[in-house]
Structure 1
Amino acid sequence: MNKLSTQDRVAILNCLSEGMGVNAAARVTGKSKNTVLKLLADVGQACAAYQDRVMINLPCKRIECDEIWSFVGAKQKNVKDDHPEGFGDCYTFTAIDPDTKLMPCWLVGTRDRQCTYDFMADLAPRMAGRIQLTTDGWNHYPDAVELAFRGQVDYVAINKSYAPGPAVSEARRRYSPPSIVSSAKAVVYGTPDLKKASTSIVERSNLSLRMGNRRFTRLTNAFSKKLENHMHAISFYFMVYNFMKIHKSIKTTPAMEAGVTDFLWSMEDIVLMTDTDV
């Protein structure tokens, strides 16, 4: 079986890391769509496994959490009985350290009780000490945080109210977010510093995810057709974000700032890591 050279794999991954879709990456590099998807699957699995291993005993003091919507195959309202399992609305739970900008874990699933519990159960043991945690007002967070952290956390929930407003034009409805009427910070556990309680940074990181990953772009046909490919693409995105790209505010990569690694990764390093892990 023919195997892509390191140079070819780096070229394809560079295209994907800059927000290109699979079809566009195939056209630019001259490779088949199946070749690009197979490479993404191999790299995505390796990136997920590697980050799961190294994101431990983290020195984070604050964590912000949020969820970002996308869909696989079809939007939930269009899912039919004969569609494969995994089709429909899909939420990615994300967490970020506002100080180091590290995104230590994520979870791809649905916005329900079980996924919220699983996400917090993954996040809690990665922290080296007590943290201040901030989430939005999703009603399953408090119980999930209590179960995962067992009260050893300073936790704030931010509840936002949005204006229903009068009827708006279709274009405005599609392109403009709802207006926030009020925002209230509620202390759930511990003694958090309310001045530092915010979800602004994680919301901004989710915007970067939407802009930097073709599968999250709204109003296009670039959505994921399979849940597995969606997960692979997200794992690869976070690998590039944490280890490769220099964050403008900290002048280094989040992984270096948090002490997870001591060098700046290149795309060749990701390819080498994939060869080692696969």
Structure 2
Amino acid sequence: MNKLPLQTRVQILTMLCEGSSMRSISRVTGVSINTVTKMLVDAGEACAAFHDATVRNVPSKAVQCDEIWSFSYAKAKNVKFAKAAPADSGDVWTWTAIDADSKLIVSWHVGDRGARTGTAFMHDLKARLANRVQLTTDGHKAYLKAVLDAGFDADYAMLNKIFATDYAGPGRYSPPKCIGAIKNPIMGNPDPALINTSFAERQNLTMRMSMRRFTRLTNAFSKKFENHCHALSLYFFFYNFCRVHKTLGATPAMASGLVDHVMKMEDAVTLIDKRSAPGLRGPYKKRVVEGSGEDPVNSN
């Protein structure tokens, strides 16, 4: 099988993590859009497997969780009007858990915004931590059931923000002005000084700036749910293991003690080649529809 030169493969993966669209990557690198898509799929599967095996026994003091919205094929309100929309079309929520000190994305999960998806997310997060932590989420009610159902032994608190009601108006796009926040201890003995979701929310902004399919007010979106998951797998590998955090002077994975060096995109190519052996590849599961009784979606 013919392979692209290493430099071209690295360039494609790097551009995918730096906010370039797949068609712009195709134009810049001189390869077909199908080749770029295949690179995304291969990298997504390899990086997801690497994250699953490597991000274990994470020493953490405080973990912040949040969820970020996007959509696949069409927004939920437009799916019924879309032509030949796949079964997994509509709103897609990415749940993330970030370590407040190392800025490591400990766990991420893709699905809807319901309690069942939240429970699967909390189960995965719990399995990756080395010790009891202080957990902070926003006021989304699904977290209450998810933390309890997962048996998460943590000092847990919710941060409920208060928004101004006079800021909204016809055609408003920017979020309403935050005029305060209430810290609500839920379980254990959370330290008030650590009840915060700022790092998780800033990470959401980084995701929107780094992945073209998350950019608002454009025609950039995921045409397939599976490719949405692949893009996230590649991005979190790049964020955790390759990109040096300016305030830390190291990658989040180095700050957490998971690795001892800055990894490169060449390492992602190596992971792809190792995973190309027969029997190692496997497709992503489709997302859970709340109450459908289907298997859980990807958790990494």
Q: Which amino acid aligns with 1:52?
A: D
SS at match of 1:260: coil
SS at match of 1:25: helix
SS at match of 2:106: coil
- For residues 11-31 of structure 1, give each alpha carbon's deviation from its aligned partner in whole angstroms, at most 9, with x where no partner exists: 111211211010111011001
SS at match of 2:179: strand
Identity %: 50
What is the match of residue 159 of structure 1?
160
Are 1:46 and 2:46 an aligned pair?
yes
What is the match of residue 118 of structure 1?
120
Over 3 Å counting, the alpha-carbon distance change for 1:166 and 1:8 in structure 2 is: closer
TM-score by length of 2: 0.88
Q: Distance in 2 between matches of 1:260 and 1:223?
A: 33
Q: Distance in 2 between matches of 1:85 and 1:8?
A: 34
Q: Distance in 2 between matches of 1:19 and 1:130?
A: 36
Number of equivalent positions: 274
What is the match of residue 251 of structure 1?
249
Segments of structure 1 that go 5 or more residues without pairing to the other structure are none
Note if contact 2:168-2:176 (Cα within 8 Å) is conserved in structure 1: no
What is the match of residue 133 of structure 2?
131
Where do 1:43-122 residues align within 5 Å? 43-80=43-80, 82-122=84-124
Q: Which amino acid aligns with 1:201?
A: F
Q: Which amino acid aligns with 2:4?
A: L
What is the match of residue 296 of structure 2?
none
Q: Distance in 2 between matches of 1:277 and 1:103?
A: 23
User: Aligned match of 1:264 in 241, 262, 265?
Assistant: 262
SS at match of 1:269: helix
Q: Which amino acid aligns with 1:205?
A: Q
Q: Which amino acid aligns with 2:196?
A: S
Q: Which amino acid aligns with 1:189?
A: M
Are 1:221 and 2:222 an aligned pair?
no
Q: Distance in 1 between matches of 2:262 and 2:179?
A: 43
Q: CA deviation at 1:162?
A: 2.3
What is the match of residue 193 of structure 2?
195
Segments of structure 2 that go 5 or more residues without pairing to the other structure are 277-300
Q: Distance in 2 between matches of 1:142 and 1:40?
A: 35
User: Which structure is higher in helix share?
Assistant: 1
SS at match of 2:52: helix
Q: CA deviation at 1:95?
A: 0.7
SS at match of 1:234: helix
Q: Distance in 2 between matches of 1:214 and 1:47?
A: 19
Q: Distance in 1 between matches of 2:11 and 2:104?
A: 26
What is the match of residue 18 of structure 1?
18
What is the match of residue 294 of structure 2?
none
Q: CA deviation at 1:6?
A: 1.5
Over 3 Å counting, the alpha-carbon distance change for 1:2 and 1:182 in structure 2 is: same
Q: CA deviation at 1:143?
A: 1.9
What is the match of residue 297 of structure 2?
none
TM-score by length of 1: 0.95
Q: CA deviation at 1:205?
A: 0.7
Q: CA deviation at 1:277?
A: 2.3
Question: What root-mean-square deviation, in Å, do the aligned CA atoms of Structure 1 and Structure 2 show?
Answer: 1.3
Q: CA deviation at 1:87?
A: 0.8
What is the match of residue 4 of structure 1?
4
